[in-house]
Structure 1
Amino acid sequence: MASETDSSQSGLLWDYALERYARDGVAECCVALQDEAGADVLLIIVAAYLAERGIPLTGQRVQVLVSGASALQASLIEPLRALRRANRPPDGEACERQRDTYQSLKQAELAAERWQLAQLAGLVSSWNPEQGPTRQLLQSNIRAVAGAAENSMLDRLIRALRTDW
């Protein structure tokens, strides 16, 4: 069972993810990075979260995050996402049962993502700030987990995620 600190960290990370994803332009950039570059959106969100806390992603930390995310991503999140997308109702033509199925798959995918963020929060809970948050740290952290994503796409995401530091 998770400790209260782990649970609190998990809640903070989930709230952060929801708030950032709702920002203008963030969801579109994240979906494009996911679809076009194969980036793991949850890792990008965690990278931004850590940057805002002054925690840089070193090579070893990136490895910890990637291996901590990969099993659940491959076994649960990606299959649920594929099922949800395959069952997306066509505009205006869907029956109620199809819409309900789509919404159920969407909720299951979100629950799996929340579970993954909780696991990642546990992995990063002992990492301490090493500097103040900066745009450069945000860029560095996101680039460390974004894989082969285009720089222009990453720059758009960084602008959308950035807070006024």
Structure 2
Amino acid sequence: MASETDSSQSGVLWDYALERYARDGVAECCIALQDEAGANVLLIMVAAYLAERGIRLTGPRVQVLVSGASALQDSLIEPLRALRRASRPQGGEACERQRDTYQSLKQAELVAERWQLAQLEELVLPWNPEQVPTLQLLQRNIRAVAGAAEKTVLDRLVRALSTER
């Protein structure tokens, strides 16, 4: 997830994700989980959002989220991310056109991420809190969507996202 402050078309989940992603250590952990374990950063943000509301991610709920995210993730977000990374300006030799292309692709990726979070928000709105939010619930929810991620990175991310600092 790229960082962006424009929330003109935001939803609650988008605003939550922007605020949490801007916290110290969160972006670095999320990018590491994305690049090293193939984790979907937006699903991690949804998992944390749900945990803070006392909503546990069960197996069926994880399936709903993964299914709800996969179409846009596979067809739009991943290809845009790959193009953006491939066009990243290299040092001082980057021409203005290359920088403009990079920024345009970054904006397109953010729009697609915002769209995906809006779709995921619609899926989770009917889910009711079942327990008191805890650090353990945050850990469980993130592990449920992070896949085979390294435990130390997951633990750092949970600490960075936790409201129990």
TM-score, normalisation: structure 2:
0.93
RMSD: 0.9
Q: Which residue of 2 is the match for residue 6 of structure 1?
A: none
Task: Give the match for residue 92 of structure 1.
Answer: 92
Q: Name the counterpart of 2:125.
A: 125
Could you tell me which residue of structure 1 aligns to residue 25 of structure 2?
A: 25
Deviation at 1:98, TM superposition (A): 0.7
**In structure 1, the residue corresponding to 2:148 is in which secondary structure?**
coil
Partners of 1:50 and 1:91 lie apart in 2 by 40
2:6 — aligned with what?
Answer: none
C-alpha separation between the residues in 1 aligned to 2:118 and 2:45? Answer: 13
Name the SS of the counterpart of 1:89 in structure 2. coil
Aligned length: 156
- Runs of 4+ in structure 1 off by over 2 angstroms are none
Q: What is the SS of the residue equivalent to 2:98?
A: helix
Residue in structure 1 matched with residue 42 of structure 2 by the alignment: 42
Report the Cα offset of residue 92 of structure 1.
Answer: 1.5
Shift in Å, 1:91: 1.7
TM-score (norm 1): 0.93
CA deviations 1:141-161 (Å, max 9, x no partner) are 000000000111100100110
CA distance in 2, matches of 1:11, 1:73: 19
- Where do residues 50-129 of structure 1 align in structure 2 (5 Å cutoff)? 50-129=50-129
Deviations for 1:15-69, whole angstroms, at most 9, x for unmatched residues? 0000000000000000000000000000000000000000000110000000000
The 3-state SS of whatever aligns with 1:92 is helix
Q: Distance in 2 between matches of 1:93 and 1:102?
A: 14
SS in 2 for 1:152: helix
- Aligned-partner Cα distance in 2 for 1:93–1:43: 36
Distance in 1 between residues matched to 2:159 and 2:92, nearest whole Å: 35
Gaps of 5+ in 1: 1-9
Aligned equivalents of 1:122 and 1:23: distance in 2? 25
In structure 2, C-alpha distance between the alignment counterparts of 1:104 and 1:79, rounded to whole Å: 14
Identity %: 84
Query: What is residue 5 of structure 1 aligned with on the other side?
Result: none
CA distance in 2, matches of 1:19, 1:52: 14
Report the AA paired with residue 120 of structure 2. L
Alignment of 1:146-161 (within 5 A): 146-161=146-161
Q: Matched residue of 2:91: which SS?
A: coil
